[in-house]
Amino acid sequence: MLDFVKVTEAAALAAARLMGRGDNDAADRAAVEAMRAALGELDIQGRVVIGEGERDEAPMLFIGEVVGSGRGYEVDIAVDPVEGTNLVAKGLPNAISVIAVSERGGILHAPDVYMEKLVVGPSAAGRVDLRWPVARNLATIASSLRRRVEDVTVVILDRPRHAELIEEVRQAGARIKLISDGDVSAAIAAAVSGTGVHAVMGVGGAPEGVLAAAALRCLGGEIQGRFWFRDDSERERVRSMGIPDPDRIFLTEDLVPGQQVIFSCTGITDGDLFKGVLFFAGGQRTHTLVMGASTGEIRFVDSVYVTDRERVGPIRLF
C-alpha cells in the first residue's frame, strides 16, 4: 500500500515546482511524467481505466495504457496527477495528486462526461437519496450529525449550472462553500471529521466521481452519482462503454466495486485537509493520505526528503 505513496508524492513534487506560474498545461505535464515514471518502478501489471484521456489525446497515462514493471498483481488504476491544475497555476488551495488502485474490474471505466453527485460522510451514508429534494437531504444530513441545518456546510463547484442548486441550499438554511475546482478533495473532506465540510452537491466530472468513490470506500462515506448529459451523443458513448442503463443512479460500490481498493493522494498546495509541498534548503516535505478499503488502514504520511545534507538544518516536527 505504501508503494503508491511514492507515486502521488512524485506527481505532487513535480507539479508544485510550477505553483503560481500561470501554466496549467506545464503543471499537469510535469505531474503526469513523474507519476508514470514512479508507476514504472512498481512490480504491478497495471492498466489505466481512468486517466488523461484516450490514446490520441494523451501521450501517457491514457486510458488503456499498461503501466508498471509487468511483474506482480494485475490491477486497474485510476489517476488524476493534478486534481485542480487551475489551482496549481494560480497558487490556490486544495490541489492534490490522486491515484486509486483495485483488482481487475474493480473500478468503473467512467467516460469523461459530467455526473451529478451527492457526497456525505459516514454518519449520513445510506440515509440520503440523490432523487430527493435538496432540503430533505440537508435535513437528513443535519440529523445524522445532531446539528441544525444552519450548521451544515455544503461544498458546490462555482458554475452557472448550479444557480438553482445554490438557491435551494440557501432556502433550506445551510451554509455554502463555493470552490473553483477540486471536488475530489472536497469529497474526502466531507468524510473526515473536523474539516468543516459536511456534504458535496452538484455536477462535476464523472472520472472525479469514481476517484471520490475509491476514497469513500476507505473512509465509510457515500457518493451517489448520475450521469449528466449535454446531448444524446454523450448518452450513446456511455452505452458503448458497456453501461446499458446510463440514466441509473450509481452508488459508491457501483463506481468502485473492487474488494482490494487502495487510495493515495498527496497535497500539492495547502488546503483544508492536506499541507502542500514544502520546499526548504536542501530538501522537500510532503503530506499524503493513503488508505486500504479491505485492511481498514488510514494513514496520514508526513515525508521529508533530504537532497543536500550540507544545506539542511534541524528537521522541524511540524
275 in any annotated domain:
yes
Q: Taking Cα atoms as reference points, which of 32, 30, 39 lies closest to residue 6?
A: 39
Based on the fold, state whether residues 217 and 139 are members of the same structural domain. yes
pLDDT one-digit tens code per residue, 153-177? 999 999 999 999 999 999 999 999 9
Based on the fold, state whether residues 77 and 142 are members of the same structural domain. no
Q: Of the candidates 218, 234, 255, which is a domain's last residue?
A: 255
pTM: 0.95
pLDDT one-digit tens code per residue, 47-79? 999 999 766 577 899 999 999 999 999 999 999
Q: Grid cell 474490474 — which residue?
A: 105
159 in any annotated domain:
yes
96 in any annotated domain:
yes
Based on the fold, state whether residues 76 and 118 are members of the same structural domain. no
pLDDT one-digit tens code per residue, 196-224? 999 999 999 999 999 999 999 999 999 99
CA distance 208 to 124: 21
Domain that holds residue 218: 114-255
Q: Residue 170: what pLDDT?
A: 98
Based on the fold, state whether residues 144 and 247 are members of the same structural domain. yes
